[in-house]
Amino acid sequence: MDESIEKAARAVLDSNLTLALTGAGISVESGIPDFRSKGGLWDRYDPDEYASIYSFQSNPEKVWQMLREMEETVDKARPNAAHIGLAELEAMGLLKSVITQNVDNLHQEGGSKDVIEYHGNSRSLTCLWCNRRYDYAQKKGEYPPYCECGRILKPDVVFFGEAIPMAAMTRSYELASSCQALLIIGTSAVVSPFNVLPRQAKQVGATIIEINLERTVLTDHITDILLLGKATEMVSGLVAAVRELKSL
Ligand code: APR
């Protein structure tokens, strides 16, 4: 068994409360490009022009050009071995919650029950004018999607310039303040306030296990165990190691 994987598995088994923090990297192997890697979404769309609430309010048709590409990609995506592995850890009683920046619903579709969506979810839409809400399925294929009041709908995802849902932020911070092991998977950890959570967990003495293809801003001063590689391979390896050590 790989030494780092074994160390990570032991940390999870010894922990009374383990969390997973995830970013776009965990869904890349499901076919959804991340944001900041080469060829990522922000390589093709300027986030200031396409991902701020101000750009949506001033030109929703333009923003829906990007959103349409995202929706069609997410529609085709299925949970991968990393999403499923986290759900297995939860079912084994070894993972309390997934706190995700992703809006693709793949953790839930992969079987995770306790998922905190820090940046909302693209599976529903709201009218900023009359507040009517729609399921994504009701508006699928309609670009841009219109409310019955005549205005263009906004997906229930957090744009730059919008507040993080209060319940998500509060519960995430409470959990990060009492966890003993933290898995950080597929995130560059450059966006706040999400990136406060690893620091808070570190502060309370949690073992920080980072899974990524590359080193990040966390690696040199927050991360205790770095598992460099694809999320599907590292999470599957971790779950297999946990099962093996548990059976000894
Ligand atoms: N396995 C593991 N890590 C991966 C994989 C993979 N297969 N593919 C990519 N990664 C890593 C990248 O190396 C990178 O460090 O995932 C990370 C993705 O970083 P970002 O693209 O910045 O995505 P994320 O951290 O989720 O962005 C945070 O920024 O634009 C906003 O709202 C958006 O929620 C998003 C937030």
Find the distance separating the first CA and the last CA of the chain, reported in whole Å.
Answer: 14
- The pLDDT mean for the chain works out to 97
Is 119 an active-site residue? yes
User: How confident is the model over 42-57, as a mean pLDDT?
Assistant: 96
Distance 186 CA to ligand 1 centre (A): 5
Query: Ligand 1 — pocket residues by CB below 6 A?
Result: 23-25, 28-29, 34-37, 40, 47, 101, 119, 186-188, 191, 211-214, 216, 230-231
> Looking at residues 66-91, what average pLDDT do you find?
97
Give the pLDDT mean for 182-205.
Answer: 97
Question: For position 248, what pLDDT does the model report?
Answer: 81
Gap between the Cα atoms of 86 and 94, Å rounded: 9
Distance CA 155, CA 169 (A): 19
Q: What is the mean pLDDT of residues 77-89?
A: 98
Q: Which CATH superfamily is domain 33-76+123-157 in?
A: SIR2/SIRT2 'Small Domain' (3.30.1600.10)
Question: What's the pTM?
Answer: 0.97
Pick the CATH number of 1-31+79-119+164-248 from 3.40.50.620, 1.10.3720.10, 3.40.430.10, 3.40.50.1220: 3.40.50.1220
**Ligand 1: which residue has its CA nearest to atom 8?**
25
Q: Would you place residue 32 in the very low, low, confident or very high pLDDT band (cuts 50, 70, 90)?
A: very high
Q: Report the C-alpha gap between 136 and 49 in whole angstroms.
A: 24
The pLDDT, as a whole number, for residue 1 is 81
- What pLDDT shows up at residue 203? 98
Residue extent(s) of CATH 3.40.50.1220 domains in the chain: 1-31+79-119+164-248
Categorize the per-residue pLDDT at 156 as very low, low, confident or very high, splitting at 50, 70 and 90: very high
Specify the domain boundaries for CATH 3.30.1600.10 within the chain. 33-76+123-157
